[in-house]
Structure 1
Amino acid sequence: MTPNLWPPAKKTTIILLLWRGEQQRIAHMNEDLSNEPNCAAYFECSSHSRRTGAVDVSSVLQSIGTQLTKRFPNLVLPHVSTLTMLSASDCIEHLVHLPLHSLPPTAQVMFIAIDGLPENLFDFAISNSWYFVNQLDRALSCGLLSPTNVPSSSKDLLDDLIASLPLRLPIYVLLVKASRNAPSLTNLITAAQLATNEEWSIVEREIRSVAKVCAEQEDPFTLYGEWDELPGDLAHCHSAWAQFYKMKRQRTAQDVVELAYHLAHSNAPTLDALHILRSVRAGELVLQCPVLDTSTTTLLTKAGATLSPNKQKDFVYLCAIGDVEEMKKCEGVTLDEWSMGIVAAAARGHIEACRWIITHKPAMGTEVTQNGQWNALRSAACNGHVHLLQMLIQYGCSVDECGLGGRTALRATAWAGYENAVRELLAAGANVEKRDSEERTPLMAAAFMNFPNVCRLLIERGARVESVDSAGATALHLALSNGSNTKNHEQVVKLLLGENADVNICDMNGRNCLHLAAYHNNAQLKLILDRVHSVDAQDSLGRTALMLAASQGRNEAIQLLVDHGSNIDWIDLHGRTALQLAAIHSHLDTVNVLVSLGADEAHKDNEGALALHYAVSHDDPQLVKALANDITLNATDRIGNTSLIVACQNGSRMVVDELIQMGADVNIQTLEGNTALRIAALTGNTQIVHSLLPHVSDNLQSDCDGTSLLHSLLINRQTSMSRLLIESGIVDLLAVDSHCRSITHIVATTNDVTSAEMLHCYCSNQLTFEEKDEDGRSPLLTAVWSGHTRIALFLLSTTGVNPNSVDNQVFIKNGHL
């Protein structure tokens, strides 16, 4: 099964891989995923949980969130209760998507892996997933893109797909957009015919090919993700749909309304539209309320349709626009509508609307909306409406009232940066240390959002700079973690440091302010360095500030840290140094800086890997040059991989050529018996095979089980690669495996006539197809015993083998043919 792929925000290159089923595992990853340099987070459902479906959203997201905050020091994830995660449909959006959007772009594609996800959570994750890699997976499956040329952004991906799909793709997508509801496949094809004047069979074929990439489902045709945002003029498509509804033989009242909708949004002249509507008896309609939108309702009434005057106004909408007179006319307003109405009015600063609601419903001053998050005071504060705040406070609204999230009006306006609103609430006695559900104070909110004046006001009124949230972060932690590089940000950090913020406090990930400042190369790094107890303090992953700076390519910070005595070869819990982290993240300049400062290129981590092993995973020969020397070039990791073998696994011919030119030994075997050539050939990389062949000395290339490379290729039915090796002349055609089976026995066992024809064509002068294995069986006997009729007939009719051949048991399975 192909894994489903889940991308994050477009600014980052982090993707989510979801596997379903007991046996699904991430291919080519023999190591623990937590040690994979490109793995940002990993969650494996237990066997019991996969069988029972007992893993819930809370368990998955809490584990993934914890790992992400350890991997990315500047990532701030909200603390949400288990109950909220189980009940909120947008928890993935707020817990993962939005925080990841705040990260700077990563130097290479990283991934989050969830293995063995139960069916109930798989559907949930996909319904909340992002767009990019799902589309990439579809495009690769349809052969529209090459796996070696993956776009780096959603825009590039869309551009590539538009170029690969039918030329009329925009018309088909815009037709779906113009249709108010997802059209059936038949209706879409009919409308497309009307829009393009093309034959039905051609339109159907093109729409079905488009559906494989652009549609969430084909029938009804529902656009997936950002295809719904494809720009274009919809007027022509509305005309096609209008013609479709006009041509329908059995029209319902709803069909007439749909016709009016499309006419109203097309370029049809008004008189022509009215003529069409009257011809379908639109004047006989009686509308109990406005339909669809104003333009549709207006066109229908002009065509003679009757609009019932007894229509109920939308109370919340009237509150949002501040129309008090119309609000007074509303009847039967529910409690939820009252509470939503005053929040809507407060958000837009409509004082009189709020005053009228509180006068008639005094409890609305403190009533929290149905979702448990908003009240009128907080809504006004978040939007900076000072006069409305004053009025609400005069009417007795509690300044510290908060919803389920614990966010007060002061916290809301501090987050939004409205100084006057902050002053008003402080003057009214708002609690400056009131904490939300994440234990964050208004000062933390203002610091994270880079509002120095608001921070100063709060500190003057007693806000404590040393307070920590539920994740152990102070206001200074949060300010440093947002990664900004603005004047306001610098002022906030200076202000907090000037208030003697403790830079040595560690958050739940073991990171102090030096870690964060180094990670982002903050302008106040030197001042923080002068205050820390240890320049090489390690976080929960064992990483120092120097390591974090190296992982992000912060060369200035690296030099400053080294000048202050940081140990350049300190190792983390995985045994990795700053140099290895720089190589993992493909920071060439940083690698050069660290090497020039004396970093040990020959250091091996817990997996036995050097920095060079990680460098070759990037398509950057210069990075390889910076780390390759006589010691590192042929060094092996824990399972015997050299950097050349790793490069072959990653498929970069430029890197492979560079390593060979520098003297890499192509004949070294891993503990499993793999060589660079075996890896390249078995993965089908013809270009790398061509680079390796002139340097290969072993013509068997056998693994630890004694299976030659040619045997392995034929077992995998890789006929083309087998032919390439045979033509090169480096393979031993008469080689046998540990059971004395020749390559002719292999094609007989796999019933592979194509490979057998190739061997007969290219190797008939050496192969007789009468070779015997350890049991004395010829390829024909092997085919008969396996029940493979096709290959047996080929051997008899083409190669002229002896049909009376016997094995060591002097026995032929009679009657099988």
Structure 2
Amino acid sequence: MSAYGIMEDDVSRLPAARQRMNDQGGTMEEKRRSRDEECYSELHRAAAKGDVPLARTLIRMGMEDGVNTPGRGGETPLHCAAWGGSSEMIKLLAEHGADVNAMDDDRATPALVATKANAAGALKTLIACGADVRWSDACGVTPLHAASWNGSDMCVRQLIEAGANVAIADHSGRTPLHDAAKSGNEDAVVALLNAGADLNAVDEVGATPLCYAVASGSAVIALLLIECGADKRLGRWCGWTAEEIARKTGQARLADAIRDGIESITKGAGSTAEQPAREAKAQHEGTTLLHRAALSGNVKSVEILLSRGMKVDQPDAEGCTALHRTTLTGSAEMMEALIRSGADVNARNSRGYTPLHAAVRSQDVRKLSLLIDSGADVNLKSGSGYTPLHEAVNVGDAAIVRALVAAGAEVNTCNTIGATPLHEAASLGDRAIVSELLHAGADARIQDSQGRSPDKLVPLRERALAEVIRRTFDSSRGR
């Protein structure tokens, strides 16, 4: 006998037992799958897949009575449609009598399922069909809780507009604001605060939304909660206050803000002699709170930080302002907000690049136009002598090249090695941009620091392009 009470003879008979099961109709896995499938109707499966034509056919064939039939876990076809995110399927089932507030075995309704699946379109349709957005499941979780911790600010807004209770706590004492603060969803936090959420609600472990914001590293949310009146002394997370959490998790500047107020990091605390050291430390730490708020896309957070004295052009570790970073990877709307607040559209980072260089790299004509219309200099050079036009050539965007030329970009300006934009385009073998530059008056005779004209830099595979440049060179020389 083995240590687990299994006889060797038992083991030897196992293959034969398996074979008998197979002889009686399928493998163990097939039998298990068959049992699972028996618990769900064809309508359940069609709803989950969003197969509206099949569902419509099944209903016409007499399965209309099955629209409220529960599956293995109590899920109706409408629960399956909500998880799949098909608004059209939800409408079809509701039109044929599906209960939009049906509960599964965990008391979850289709609205809660849709929210957990981050299916904003499905949720909107369910609400239009009469879903109860205040219902809670067996754990006290409402759709608003789920949307808040799931990071779906769109679902949060839909639920609030539909009358969801922003103050309700689940069985752990957590409100939707606790969940939004913990998830780091700034837009959801703002929506909940605007709807009157309780800043100082305490859950069963004694933590407030501020505690969760700090513990999850969401500094902007923490400052927003403080600005809106959160009690910094209230609440404990693992026995620590919000300030203690910040210090124990390496967020010293946030801890200072919690203790002394936002001014301690936006205007500098202590003597004037201490301020340069503080600023150097802030840059060494990398991105500032303003950078993070700007990249999050939350205009209100940015406005709060700026209203408390944070400098709109404060650089990060690489010398980039919030406008640099937002232009490269953020939204045009946030760029507009920063520019309205006085951001320098010609600010240079540690390598001499301006926001306009960043706009070129983003290949977003709208961002480019916004900066130009706001006074950006199209001919400012980086530390290596690259203008935005050089940059546009290197990213290979003919539309950006045209926009810069139309805005007055100099086509014959040279970088530190004497290369013009035409040199760059020729070396890349980019026919479209070479044509754009020649049409704009690029001089094919200019030589770089090594005495090479643009035609000498064209790759061998692009001999025809070299000829085009050479003909332009010859015609220029004959003038």
TM-score (norm 1): 0.32
Find the structure with the greater CA-based Rg: 1
More helix by share: 2
TM-score (norm 2): 0.50
